[in-house]
């Protein structure tokens, strides 16, 4: 039995050490990982971007990173289900804190995000970002594409985010259109899951509408994703409003008729062969949440992303 400590995010002596903080206390980094800006020996980075000035409906996603970190405390100590392992025993993960943005000059936001993300990626670390509204995915995609080339986009969302964009807008509903036009993503190998709205363009991206997701099994959805991406380097972005408002009320633009958290988590669990080069969880807006339902869903999705990364790094366990 290890000697118990508290505030593991500051007191840990190893990037792969398990935390022993009580669930209800201690410093709330993501899953108690060490807070640090040092990237030495780091396999994966969790980073927050508290930005929501691009929202078209309800603001509040700037508080998403805080809420997700708080909800992630429930995963501490025990082997993480369904991966049956301490995700951090063989994968060094840090909480890089948050991106510092000038709230009075939003035109600087994309460059600020892209530059810091590029620094992290250049050090060889896998970057998992906590938003923030969905605009932040635009500079994140640019940073990842600079390193890996055009990406297959796997997007869980109620919205296509392909609305008109003049390349200067700060808008969470148009980043996909911009990414296609600029060659950042490859639409022929990209897929959007859970769509429950209509947009003027689909740019050739494969759509699994909400009613398709309702009728398909989790295995069929995962199979469609893997078939579409075809082994290409992929970026996974998860807008929490992909889930039905019953499972994610705390978001800016909720849309009825979505899937359950259980079904979508089952889909994620079956994406082990996806060549995921980066990922984000966005649009958690805790002011509209109840009993942390949405924050828990967001934290769980983020944990699954790290679980998939851990398995890709060390291989799955046979259970």
Binding residues for Mn(2+): 134, 157, 159, 161, 239, 241
How many CA atoms lie less than 13 Å away from 110 in the CB half-sphere? 16
8 A C-beta contact, residue 138 and residue 110: yes
Other Cβ atoms less than 10 A from the Cβ of 107: the count is 9
CA 40 to chain centre: 23
Q: Which residues are annotated as a binding site?
A: 134, 157, 159, 161, 239, 241
Distance CA(106)–CA(227), nearest Å, equals: 38
DSSP secondary-structure letter at 151?
B
Tell me the CA distances in angstroms from 67 to 131, 148, 153, 199, 311, one per residue in order: 10, 31, 26, 30, 26
3-class SS shares of the chain: helix, strand, coil, % to 5: 35, 15, 45
Buried b (16+ CB within 10 A) or exposed e, 216-244: bebeebbebbbebbeebbbbbbbbbbbbb
Give SS3 for 208.
Answer: strand
């Amino acid at each position: 039995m290890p000697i118990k400590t508290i505030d593991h995010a500051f007191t840990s002596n190893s990037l792969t050490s398990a935390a022993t903080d009580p669930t209800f206390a201690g410093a709330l980094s993501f899953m108690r990982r060490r807070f640090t800006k040092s990237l030495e020996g780091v396999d994966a980075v969790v980073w927050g971007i508290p930005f929501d000035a691009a929202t078209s409906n309800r603001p509040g996603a700037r508080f998403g990173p805080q809420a997700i970190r708080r909800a992630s405390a429930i995963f501490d100590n025990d082997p993480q289900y369904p991966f049956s392992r301490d995700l951090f025993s063989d994968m060094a993960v840090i909480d890089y804190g948050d991106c510092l943005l000038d709230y009075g000059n939003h035109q600087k936001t994309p460059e600020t995000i892209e530059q810091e993300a590029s620094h992290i990626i250049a050090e060889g670390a896998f970057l998992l970002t906590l938003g923030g509204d969905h605009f932040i995915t635009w500079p994140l995609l640019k940073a990842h594409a600079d390193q890996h080339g055009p990406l297959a986009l796997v997007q869980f969302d109620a919205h296509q985010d392909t609305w008109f964009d003049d390349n200067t807008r700060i808008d969470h509903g148009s980043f996909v259109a911009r990414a296609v036009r600029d060659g950042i993503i490859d639409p022929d190998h990209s897929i959007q899951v859970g769509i429950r709205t209509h947009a003027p363009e689909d740019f050739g991206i494969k759509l699994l509408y909400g009613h398709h997701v309702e009728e398909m099994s989790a295995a069929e959805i995962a199979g469609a994703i893997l078939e579409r991406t075809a082994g290409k380097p992929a970026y996974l972005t998860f807008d929490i409003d992909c889930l039905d408002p019953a499972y994610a009320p705390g978001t800016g633009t909720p849309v009825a008729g979505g899937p359950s958290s259980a079904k979508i988590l089952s889909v994620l669990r079956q994406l082990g062969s996806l060549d995921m080069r980066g990922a984000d969880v966005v649009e958690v807006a805790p002011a509209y949440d109840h009993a942390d339902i949405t924050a828990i869903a967001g934290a769980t999705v983020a944990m699954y992303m790290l679980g998939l990364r851990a398995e890709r790094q060390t291989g799955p366990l046979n259970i």
